[in-house]
Amino acid sequence: MKGIRTITRQGLDISLKTEYIPNLQIWKPMQVGMWAWLLHRITGVALSIYLLIHISLMSIVILRGQAFFDALLGMLMGSKFFKVFDLVLLAAVLFHSINGIRLILFDIGVGIRHQRELFWVGTAISAALFILATLRLLPEIVS
Amino acid sequence: MNKDFNALAWLLQRITAVGLVLLLGIHFWLLHFKTHGEVIKFSDVSMRLHTWTLVLIDICLLIFGLYHASNGIYSIVQDYSVGGNGRRVTLWVLMCGGCVLAIIGGISLFRFLYVAG
C-alpha cells in the first residue's frame, strides 16, 4: 500500500503547485482542469471502444464483398439514429482532439498558467465546429 | 531501458495525436461532407482507394489510431497503480489486439487496390 500513499502524496504536491495535474484522490468538483481531464478520459475510452467496433465491422464487411457492403451501409446511413450517433461521435472527437492539442501545448510549456482560459477557448472552438456540422447534417436527419 | 521505452511511448502518443487530428479531418471530410450525405457505395470506396496515396493515408490513420487508443488505455491502467503482472498482461493484450486489428484493417484496405471498382 506504500505505493498508493506515495502517489497520493506526490499527486497532492503537484496538484497544489500547478492546479493542472488532477489526482483521483483529490477531487475538486469546481476546478475546470479536473473536468477537462475527466471528459478527456471519458471521450478517449468511448472513442477507443468505437474504434474497435469500427475497424472490426468495416473489415468484415469489406472482406464479405460488394453486395454485403452496399446493403449494410445503405441500412446504416439511411437510419436517422445512425446520423445522430455520427454527431455524437463528432462531438467526442472534437472535444478530445482540441483538448489534446491544449495538453500538447502544456507539454511544451505554453499556456500552463492560462489552462482554464485555454479550456474555454478550446470548448468554444469545438462547439462552433459541432454546430456547423449539425447544421450541415440537420436537413438529412429531419427529412 | 524502461525509462527510454516510456519516453518513446509518451512522444509517440503526441506525434500520433497530431497526425490523427489531420488524418481524421481528411477522413471525416471525404466520407461525410464531400459525399453530401449520399450513401457510400463499395464502388465509390473502391474508386477512392484505387490510388496508393489514399490507401497510405488510411493505413496511417489505422496505425496512428490503434497506437493512440492502446497507449491511452494503458496510461489509464498505469494511473490506477495496477500491479506488475496486471500491467504486463494489459500491455500484451493491447499490443496483440492492436496488431491483429492493424493486420485485418490493412488486408481490407489493400484489397481495394486489387479489386475492380
Confidence of residue A2 (pLDDT cuts 50, 70, 90): very low
Q: How far apart are CA A102 and CA A94, in angstroms?
A: 12
User: Which positions in chain B touch A3 (Cβ < 8 Å)?
Assistant: 81
Whether the pLDDT of residue A120 is over 90: the answer is: yes
Put simply, the chain B residues between 22 and 61 with a CB less than 8 A from any chain A CB are 24, 28, 32-33, 37, 39-43, 45
What pLDDT sits at residue A126?
Answer: 95
A42-51, A89-98, B64-73, B79-88: the lowest-pLDDT one: B79-88
- Among candidates B111, B117, B17, which has minimal Cα distance to B55? B111
CA distances from A126 to A35, A99, A100, B11 (A): 16, 9, 12, 25
Q: Which residue has the cell 496515396?
A: B53
Q: What is the pLDDT of residues B14-52, one digit of tens each?
A: 999 999 999 999 888 887 766 666 778 888 888 888 888
Over pLDDT 70: what percentage of chain A? 79
Contacts of B39 (CB under 8 A, 6+ apart): A73, A74, A77, A78
Chain-centroid distance, C-alpha B23: 10
What pLDDT sits at residue B43?
Answer: 84
If you measure CA to CA, which chain A residue comes closest to B72?
A44
CB atoms inside a 10 Å sphere around CB B58: 22
Q: State how far residue A115 is from chain B, nearest Cα, in angstroms.
A: 18
Most confident of A68-72, B65-69, B78-82: B65-69
What pLDDT sits at residue A4?
Answer: 43
What pLDDT sits at residue A12?
Answer: 62
Tell me the mean pLDDT in the region A85-104: 94
Confidence of residue B117 (pLDDT cuts 50, 70, 90): very low
- CATH number of the domain within which B67 lies: 1.20.1300
Question: Which sign, positive or negative, has the C-alpha torsion A104, A107, A109, A111?
Answer: positive
Q: What is the pLDDT of residues B82-114, one digit of tens each?
A: 667 888 888 899 999 999 999 999 998 888 777
Q: How far apart are CA B60 and CA B95, in angstroms?
A: 17
Q: How far apart are CA A28 and CA B113, in angstroms?
A: 53
User: Which positions in chain B touch A56 (Cβ < 8 Å)?
Assistant: 101, 104
Average pLDDT, chain A: 83
Q: Is residue B72 part of a domain?
A: yes
Q: Is residue B40 part of a domain?
A: no
3-state SS class at B82: coil
Q: Is residue B50 part of a domain?
A: yes
How does DSSP classify residue B39? P
Whether B39 sits inside 8 A of A51 (CB atoms) is: no
Whether the pLDDT of residue A8 is over 70: the answer is: no
Whether the pLDDT of residue A3 is over 50: the answer is: no
Q: How far apart are CA B117 and CA B110, in angstroms?
A: 13
Residue A66 touches partner B, C-beta closer than 8 Å? yes
Domain count, chain B: 1
Q: How far apart are CA A86 and CA B96, in angstroms?
A: 29
What pLDDT sits at residue B18?
Answer: 95
List the end-to-end C-alpha distance of chain A, in Å, as a whole number: 59
Q: Is residue B81 part of a domain?
A: yes
The model's pTM = 0.82
What pLDDT sits at residue A16?
Answer: 65
What pLDDT sits at residue A29?
Answer: 57
Name the residue facing B105 among A45, A55, A73 (closest C-beta).
A55
Q: How far apart are CA B16 and CA B39, in angstroms?
A: 30
Name the residue facing B81 among A3, A45, A62 (closest C-beta).
A3
Chain-centroid distance, C-alpha B27: 12
Contacts of B48 (CB under 8 A, 6+ apart): B30, B54
Which domain range does residue B104 map to? Answer: 2-31+45-114
Joined grid coordinates for residue B52:
496508393
Q: Is the ipTM of this complex over 0.90?
A: no
Q: Are A82 and A76 spatial neighbours (Cβ–Cβ below 8 Å)?
A: yes
Tell me the mean pLDDT in the region A122-138: 91
- Among candidates A42, A8, A127, A93, which has minimal Cα distance to B29? A93
What pLDDT sits at residue B14?
Answer: 95
